[in-house]
Structure 1
Amino acid sequence: MTSTIPHQLAAAPSSAVPPETAAPPELLSPAPPADAEPGLRSVAVVGLGYVGLPTALALHRSGVAVRGVDVSRRRLEAVRGGQVDLLPSDLLDLHAALASDGFSVGDDPTAVAEADAVIICVPTPVDDHLSPDLGPLESACRAVVDWARPGQLLVLTSTTYVGSTHDLLVAPLAARRGLVAGRDLHVAFSPERIDPGVVEHEQGRTPRVVGGTTAECTRRAADLVGRLTSSVHAVSSAEAAEMTKLYENTFRAVVLALANEVAGICRTLDLDAVEVTDAAATKPYGFLAAYPGPGVGGHCIPCDPHYLLWQMRLHRTPTPLIEQAMTSIAHRPHEVVARAVEVLSDQGRGLAGARVLVVGVSYKPGVRDVRETPALEIVRGLEQRGAVVAYHDPLVPELRLPDGRVLASATDAPQEQWDLLLLHTVHPGADLSWVSAHPLVLDATYRFAAAPQRHVV
C-alpha cells in the first residue's frame, strides 16, 4: 500500500512478493474459541500501561505464560509493588500473577524473541502542537522487528494513524529482516478498548475488532484476542481496524463537544442539562447519551482524533466538523474559568485574590489518572487571573502543573474557608457532604444538585 505518513517517517517498502489479500469480515464471525491455537504457549506484552497491564493479566488468566516488557523502571517498580491504578479484580489478579511462575515483568526486549505472540500496547500521545508523538510507538515497533522470529504473531493495539501497522511492522520486517507477513510470520491490528475504572466495560465484556495483513493473520490474531473477550469482529484489513478506532473516539469527541454546547443552551433557557439528556436517552434508537462536564481528558478523546486530522492534512482532505469539535474540547476549560469569574462577580467580588478549591482533579471519576485532565488548564487559568488555588482529591495526592510546580492535595479542605468550590471530578464513594454546606459552588460535573448555592457551567 502507499504510505500515508511523511516520507521521512515512512518505513522502507518491501521488495518481497505481497502475501494473499486479507479475509472479508464474514470469515471470522464469531471468533474462534480461545483454545483453537494449541501452539500458543507464551505471549510478550510490550508496554505495561493502562492497556498493557490489564491485557497481560487477562492473558495470564487464560492459561498462557506472559512476559511484560516496559522501558520505564519506575513503571516496573510500581507493577511489582502493586501500586498501579487497576480495577479491584485486576489488582487481585496482579498479586496472584506475580507470585506465579508464568508471569514476569522486565525491561529486556529479547523477551520478544522467546514468545509465540507479541502484543504492542504503548502510548500514542500528541505533542504541544497537537501533532502525533510517534516516538514511543516507533521505538517499540523497532524493538519488536529486531527480535521477531519466524512463526510468531505480532499484534499492534496502540491507537495510531491508518497505515501504521504496515509502515512500522510489515514493511521493516520485510526490508530489514526478510520476513514477509502472512508467509514467515503473522501481523495484525486490534485496537484496544479499555475504559479505566468502569467494571461494566472490563475486557471480557467488550467486543474487539481485528484486521490482519492476510486472511491467516486475521484468523490467528482473532484467536489470540479471543482469549481476552468472547466477541471478536474481523474486518478486511489492518487499515480498516486502524480507522475503526479513530472513528470510535472521534465520534465520542464530537458528541461530547455537542453535550457541552447543549448544556450552555440549557443554562440560557433555565433548564437542567442532565434532565434533558436523560429524557432524550429514553429514545431506544438514534440517540447516544453524552453528558456535559469541565472538559475532556485522558489517554484517548483529547488525542486520538488529532491522528486523523494530522493524516487528512497530509492528504489535503477537509474535516471541518472534527476540527470544530476538537477546538471546542480544547476551549472548554477556559469556559469553566470564565464561568467562575461570572459566579464570583455576581457575589460582588473578583477572581483576583479569591481562594478557590478545585474538588477532584483526575480526568474521570474513580481513577488516579491525570493525563490531559482539564483540571490542569483550569488551575492555570484561575491562577493567571489572580486566584489562590488549591485542590482536594483523595485519589491524587500530588498534581504536577504545566509549569513544573507540584501541588499537594489539601486534605484539610473541608475544614477551611473558600470563596468558591469548583467541582471538577466526583469520585464514587467520596464523602462530599461538606460541599453542600458551602455558600458558593460551581458544579462543572452537573451532578451535584445538593448544594443550595450551586451554579453550573
Structure 2
Amino acid sequence: MPLTIDNIKQRKARIGIIGLGYVGLPLALTFSEEKFQVIGFDIDKKKVHSINQKQSYIKHINHGRLARFVGDGSFQATDDFSRIQECDAVIICVPTPLDHHLEPDLQYIKTTTETIAPHLKPGTLVSLESTTWPGTTEEIVRPILESKSSLKVGKDLYLCFSPEREDPGNKNYSTKSIPKLVGAVDEESLSLSVALYSQAIEHVVPVSSTQVAELAKLFENIFRSVNIALVNELKVICEPMQIDVFEVIRAAGTKPFGFMPFWPGPGLGGHCIPIDPFYLTWKAKEFGIRTRFIELAGEINRSMPKYVVSKVQDCLNFYCKPLKGSKILVLGLSYKADVDDMRESPSLELIRLLESKGARCEYHDPYIPSIGANREYKELEGRTSQELSRDYDCFLLSTAHSVFPKEEILSLSVPIVDTRNFFPQHKLVHPA
C-alpha cells in the first residue's frame, strides 16, 4: 500500500531508520513514542544486539526509555536489510566523513542507497538526513535509487532531504523540540515528508528544494566554525598581551544586541563542525569559487591542537621538565562536556601529537572507559581511562566535564594546562 497522509496520521505507516547512532537512535525512539512501528537498521551487530536486549549504548538515552519500546514490540533492530520491504518510509542517518584530502566521503550514503534500493516497494518515502553538499539528494541518491530498482522517483517513490540537528547532551532541546527542515524533489514528496515528520517533531519547516535544505544545514555549522575560529585566534592574540580572553568574551556578552558569545578551546570536535564546512568548499570548486573565509576558519581551528601542545611544552619547561619522556594525563576524551561521544575529538589529536614528540600520554574520562574502533586513530584503540593520581608530570584539561572533581584535581599538585577555563585561578593552572 503506497504511503498516504491518512495512513501516516492513523499510524499505519511503518518507518525504517538506517544508522542507529547519535542521530538514528533518538529519532527511532521519538517516532516510537508517537506510536509508530519502527525498524532500526545497522551493519553493526553489536548495536543491533544491544537494542534488542534493551540496553542503550548512548549515555543520554537511558535503558528504561529504550526498553519501553523494544519491550512492547514497537521498536526493533536488525542487520537484515531485506526487511526494508516492510517499511513505508525509510530514513537514512549514516555518517558523512571527510577523506584524507579533506574532501567529502559519501561511501556510506552510496552503499546504503545501493543496499536498500532493490528492497523498496512502490509508494515508499525515502528521506536522507546525513549532512552533505547541496545537490547530493538529486545527483547521487536519486540516480542510485532508480538504477538499482525498477522504481522511478516522482512516480513510484517519494524522496526528500531533512537534515539532522541533534546536539548530544543538550538538556534544553530534544529531537522532538528542535525545528525540522524538509526539502523534497516534488510537491507530493514534500507533503508526505512534512506530514510524516510532523507526527513526531513539534515544528516542521518546509523549504523549496532539497538543495536549500542541504545548504541550510551546512551554513548552520559553517557559522559556528567561523565564529569559533575567530575566538580561537583572539585567544592566541590575548596571550602575549596578558589579557584573559574568557573575561573579554564575557564582557562583550553583556551587550544585549548584535553579539553572540563563542568560546575558544583546544580544537574542533563532533560530527558536524570540523567536517561540514569542507562539503561546501568542495562543491564550490565545481563552480570555480574558492571559499577563502571558510578555508581560513578551518585552518585556524585545525591549528589549535598544535598550539595547545606548545602550551604543554611551556608548562613543563616552567617546571624544568622536557616534553619528551614526561607523563601526561589528558582530562576528557569526548569532544564536548558531559557526553560519551569522541567523534573528531581534539583530545585524540592532542594525544597523537604529544606522543609524536616523545611524551607518554594517558587519559581520564568517566564517560569513555575505553577507546573503541574509530576511523582516524586506530593506534589508540583499546586504551582505557586511568584514575586521577599524582603520578603525572602534567594534566591537560581538554574537555570540561561537570563531574570532574575540581578540588581533588587541584589537591594532587600536578601542573595543569587548562584549555577550557575550567579551573579557578590557581598557581598550578596554566591557561592554553
Same fold (TM over 0.5): yes
Instruction: Give the superposition deviation at 1:361.
Output: 1.1
Name the residue aligned to 2:348: 376
Matches within 5 A, 1:138-157: 138-157=110-129
Matches within 5 A, 1:1-20: none
Matches within 5 A, 1:20-419: 37-38=9-10, 40-81=12-53, 82-88=55-61, 91-399=63-371, 401-403=377-379, 406-411=382-387, 413-414=388-389, 416-419=390-393
Instruction: Give the superposition deviation at 1:404.
Output: 5.0
**Distance (Å, rounded) in 2 between the aligned partners of 1:274 and 1:144:** 49
1:455 aligns to 2:417 (yes or no): no
The amino acid that maps onto 1:419 is: D
Name the residue aligned to 2:416: 441
Q: Is the 8 A contact 1:422 1:443 kept in 2?
A: yes
Instruction: Select the structure with the greater relative contact order (CA < 8 A; seq sep ≥ 6).
Output: 1
**Distance (Å, rounded) in 2 between the aligned partners of 1:372 and 1:233:** 30
Q: Is the 8 A contact 2:114 2:145 kept in 1?
A: no
Q: Is the 8 A contact 1:121 1:158 kept in 2?
A: yes
Instruction: Give the superposition deviation at 1:176.
Output: 4.5
Q: Is the 8 A contact 2:158 2:188 kept in 1?
A: yes
The amino acid that maps onto 1:218 is: L
Instruction: Give the superposition deviation at 1:35.
Output: 8.8
Q: Residues 240, 382 of structure 1: CA spacing in aligned structure 2 closer, same or farther, 3 A cutoff?
A: same
Instruction: Give the superposition deviation at 1:102.
Output: 1.6
Q: Is the 8 A contact 2:58 2:340 kept in 1?
A: yes
After TM superposition, the score normalised by the length of structure 1 is 0.87
After TM superposition, the structure 1 stretch with the greater mean CA deviation from structure 2, 284-293 or 133-142, is 284-293
**Distance (Å, rounded) in 2 between the aligned partners of 1:316 and 1:377:** 32
**Distance (Å, rounded) in 1 between the aligned partners of 2:10 and 2:282:** 41
Q: Is the 8 A contact 2:394 2:416 kept in 1?
A: yes
Q: Residues 98, 38 of structure 1: CA spacing in aligned structure 2 closer, same or farther, 3 A cutoff?
A: closer
Q: Residues 429, 263 of structure 1: CA spacing in aligned structure 2 closer, same or farther, 3 A cutoff?
A: same
After TM superposition, the structure 1 stretch with the greater mean CA deviation from structure 2, 370-379 or 33-42, is 33-42
**Distance (Å, rounded) in 2 between the aligned partners of 1:206 and 1:283:** 27
Instruction: Give the superposition deviation at 1:145.
Output: 2.0
Q: Residues 34, 428 of structure 1: CA spacing in aligned structure 2 closer, same or farther, 3 A cutoff?
A: farther
Unaligned runs of 5+ in 1: 1-32
**Distance (Å, rounded) in 2 between the aligned partners of 1:44 and 1:396:** 29
Instruction: Give the superposition deviation at 1:186.
Output: 1.4
Three-state SS of the structure 1 residue aligned to 2:182 is strand
Name the residue aligned to 1:6: none
Three-state SS of the structure 1 residue aligned to 2:272 is coil
The amino acid that maps onto 2:405 is: D
Q: Is the 8 A contact 2:249 2:261 kept in 1?
A: yes
Instruction: Give the superposition deviation at 1:347.
Output: 2.7
**Distance (Å, rounded) in 1 between the aligned partners of 2:37 and 2:189:** 21
How many residue pairs match? The answer is 422
Three-state SS of the structure 1 residue aligned to 2:205 is strand
**Distance (Å, rounded) in 2 between the aligned partners of 1:36 and 1:152:** 12
**Distance (Å, rounded) in 2 between the aligned partners of 1:289 and 1:91:** 35
Instruction: Give the superposition deviation at 1:419.
Output: 1.6
**Distance (Å, rounded) in 2 between the aligned partners of 1:84 and 1:46:** 17
Instruction: Give the superposition deviation at 1:443.
Output: 0.2
